[in-house]
Amino acid sequence: GEEDIIIISTVRSNGKGTIGFLSNQQRTNVALTRARYCLWILGNESTLTNNKSVWRQLVDDAKARNCFHDAEDDEALAQCVERSITALDDLDKP
């Protein structure tokens, strides 16, 4: 179903530098069309843009609209990610 905010992680650890199952167009379509108001895509820019997939088009579009953020260049974003990780870790505590 739909959600107000969707966060998609395309982060993968593999020797090929590919996005694996997210290269499947049907899965990508489902992932990208479920956000009502806000869609965040997290991933490695070079991995997402290494081919002519929809992911490259999304990165290019985000840059053109000033919606692309490099976490290494954005201290506030990095701090937000750290706080989110801590909050999620706290949910796992008994």
State how beta strands 35-42 and 3-9 pair. parallel
Tell whether 23 is covered by a domain: yes
Q: How many domains does the chain have?
A: 1
- On the question of pLDDT at 37 being above 90, the answer is yes
Q: What is the pLDDT of residues 53-78, one digit of tens each?
A: 788 999 999 999 999 988 878 888 88
Secondary structure element (H or E) that encloses residue 55, with its range: helix 54-64
Tell whether 36 is covered by a domain: yes
Tell whether 76 is covered by a domain: no
Q: Kindly indicate the confidence band of residue 33, based on its pLDDT and cuts at 50, 70 and 90.
A: very high
Tell whether 86 is covered by a domain: no
**Phi/psi at 85 (5° precision):** -60, -45
For residue 49, what are the domain limits?
3-69
Q: What is the pLDDT of residues 5-24, one digit of tens each?
A: 999 888 765 556 666 666 77
What pLDDT, on a 0 to 100 scale, did the predictor assign at position 16?
Answer: 65
Question: Could you identify the residue written with the tokens 């820019």?
Answer: 45
Percent of the chain topping pLDDT 70: 87
Q: Is 35 helix (H, G, I), strand (E, B) or coil?
A: strand
**Phi/psi at 63 (5° precision):** -65, -45
